[in-house]
Chain A
C-alpha cells in the first residue's frame, strides 16, 4: 500500500509537470500540440493521483502520521522529478515506465505493498 501511495504521488507529480510546455518539449522527441482538453484532463488526473496518494497514506498510517508521510514523500518525489527534468528530461518517462514495470512484477509475485 505504501508503495502504491508513493507511485500514485509520482504519477500525480509527473502529470502536473506535463502541464508546462517547457517540460513537454523536453520530455518528448516528437512535437505536437496538446489540446486544452487534454491538458485539463491531465490536471484533473494529476490532482486525483495526489489526492489518492494522500488517502492511501492516511489509510495505512492514520490521519496525523499519514499526512506527515504524504507531505514528506511528496517533497522527495517532487524534488527528484525536478532534478530529473532538469538534468535528463528524456529519461523521465523511461524511468517512470521502469518503475511501473517493477510495481507490476511485485503485484504478480504478490509481495507486500
Chain B
C-alpha cells in the first residue's frame, strides 16, 4: 500500500513538473511527422501537381539545371515527388574553394521541370525542430532540457503502469457519468492504449540525444582523447564515404539512363531520389533510392558507377557488425517513422496526439482534484487557480499559436526580409497572448468560460486556414481537389476537422456550464 502511495505521488509530480514542456514536445513532434507536407503548404508558389510525375521526361531537365547552377559541385541530389514527398527538388554541395561552398537547393515544378521561386519559410521543419531543439535557447541546453523532460516522462509512464489498479480490466472503459472519473478514464485510455508507442517514443527520444547527455560513458572507455571520442561519434552519425574520387574528370552516363537501368532491374519499385557522390569524377557513384516495401528502412538503395552503370559495392566496414548500431538504427527509425506510409503515418500522428492528450488530461485531473480537496478543507485556492489558468493557456493556447503560425506565414509578405524569423516569432507571440489571457483581471471569471473562449479562438483560427489559403494562393481546395493533390487537400481538410473539434469542445463546455448554473440556481431557491 505504501509503495503504491509513493508511486502515485511520483507519477503525479513527475508528470506535472514538465507537463507544459512535454505537451509542447508531443504536439510539435506529432506535427513533425507531417513536416514535408506542412512546408509544402507554406510554399504556395509550387503549382498543384496536375498529373502523375513523368520522371524519364523531367530528370534530364533537373540534371541540366544542376549543370547550369553548380558546375563545380561535388555532391548532387535529386528528390522526386514520389511517395510522401511533394517536392521535385535539386540539391548540390559546393566544396571549399568554390563560390558559395556548402549545400544549396532549388525547387522545380513537378509538371514542367521549370525552376520555381519559392518563398523562404520556417515550414514544418520548425515545428519538428521545436520538439527537441526548442527556440531562443542554446541547442545544448535544449537537448538537456528535453532529455530531462523525457526522463520524467519515462518515470511517469513506468509508475503510471504500476499504480493503475485495473489496467487490463478497465482497458476499454471510459465512464462519462462523473466529471472526475471521466477525466481519469480519459487519461488512462490515452496513456494505456498507445502504451507501446509512448514507451518507444520516450526511450528512443532519450537515446537519440545520448551524445549530449551521456558523454561520460564514452569518456570512461576512451579517456578524454577528442580524436577517439570523435571516432565513436562518427561510428553512429557519419554515413561513411562510399567512394573517394580520384580527381580525374570523366563524362558520366545521363542520370535518366541510370534511372531506367535501375527501374528495369527492380520493376515495381518507385524511385524516390538519385544522389551522386563525386559528381563529374571518374569514380563518381550514383545512389538510387526506392521507396521500401518492407522493413523499417525508409528506402531500398542501390549503387552504380556513374561512368558505365555497373553496380558498385562499397567496402564492408567494421561497424556493419556492431550489435549496438543495429539496435540504434531500429530505435531511430521507429522514432522518426520515415518508413511509414500514409496510413501508418496518420496512426503515428494520432498516437503522438494521444500522448499530448494524456499529459493534458493528467494535469487537468490534478487541478480538479486539488480544487476539491482545497474547497473541502477551506483552504485558499489561489495557487490551484494559477495552475488552472496555466492549463488553459498551455493546452488550448498552443494549438492557437500553431494555427497562428500557419496564418502568419501566409499573410506576411513573401519577399519580406527575415520573414522566417518573424514566422517563428509569431508562434510565440500568439502563445504568449494565450497564456496571458486567463490571467487578465475581469469582473466575473469562470474557468470554463476561459476554456470556451480559447477554444473559440482556436476554432476560428483553424476554420480560417482554408479560407486564407484560398485568398492568398492558387493552391486552394478548389484546385487541389480538382487535381487530387492529397497533400494540400489533407492540410486544409485537417484544419477544418480541428476547427470542428474545437467548436465541439466549446459546445460541450457551454452545455455543462448551463447545467451547473441551473443546478446552483435550483439549490439557492
Seen from chain A, the residues whose Cβ lies within 8 Å of a Cβ on chain B are 13, 16-17, 19-20, 22-23, 61-62, 64-65, 68-69, 71-76, 78-79, 81-83, 85-87
Contacts and interface: CB of A to CB of B under 8 A. Distances in A.
Contact of B172 (A64, A75, A76, A81): A81
B332 to A, nearest CB: 13
Contact of B294 (A13, A62, A75): A62
Contacts of A79: 189, 193, 354
B179 to A, nearest CB: 14
B296 A64 contact: yes
Contacts of B21: none
Given A17-B172, A64-B330, A78 B296 contact: no
B174 A71 contact: no
Contacts of B171: 16-17, 78, 82
Given A68-B344, A85-B174, 17 more contacts: A16-B171, A62-B295, A68-B296, A68-B340, A69-B344, A71-B196, A74-B193, A75-B193, A75-B194, A75-B347, A76-B347, A78-B172, A81-B172, A82-B174, A83-B174, A85-B172, A86-B176
B158 interface: no
Contacts of B339: 65
Contacts of A83: 174
B197 interface: yes
A71 B173 contact: no
A112 to B, nearest CB: 15
Contacts of A13: 172
B178 interface: no
B237 to A, nearest CB: 22
A74 B189 CA distance: 13
Interface of B: 169-176, 189, 193-194, 196-197, 294-296, 330, 334, 339-340, 344, 347-348, 350-351, 354
A54 B267 CA distance: 29
SS class, residues of chain A in contact with chain B: helix
A16 B172 contact: yes
A72 B193 contact: no
A75 B190 CA distance: 10
Nearest to A61: B294
Nearest to A66: B294
Contact of A75 (B174, B176, B334, B351): B351
Contacts of B347: 72-73, 75-76
Contacts of A87: 176
Contacts of B175: 86
A69 B340 CA distance: 9
A62 B295 CA distance: 7
Contacts of A22: 173
14 contacts: A17-B172, A22-B173, A68-B344, A71-B197, A72-B344, A72-B347, A74-B193, A75-B193, A75-B197, A76-B350, A79-B354, A83-B174, A86-B173, A87-B176
SS class, residues of chain B in contact with chain A: loop
A14 to B, nearest CB: 9
A85 B185 CA distance: 13
A23 B40 CA distance: 45
A87 B174 CA distance: 9
A83 B172 CA distance: 8
A108 B152 CA distance: 52
A78 B351 CA distance: 12
Contacts of A17: 171-172
B293 to A, nearest CB: 9
B193 A68 contact: no
Contacts of A61: 294
Contacts of B170: 20
Contacts of A19: 169
Nearest to B339: A65
B355 to A, nearest CB: 11
Most A CB within 10 A of own CB, among B171, B348, B354: B171
A38 to B, nearest CB: 17
A71 B196 CA distance: 7
A74 B348 CA distance: 12
Contacts of A65: 294-296, 339
B348 A78 contact: no
Contacts of B197: 71-72, 75
A22 B174 CA distance: 11
Nearest to B177: A86
Contacts of A85: 172-174
A13 B172 CA distance: 8
Most B CB within 10 A of own CB, among A22, A62, A79, A87: A79
Nearest to A18: B172
Nearest to B344: A72
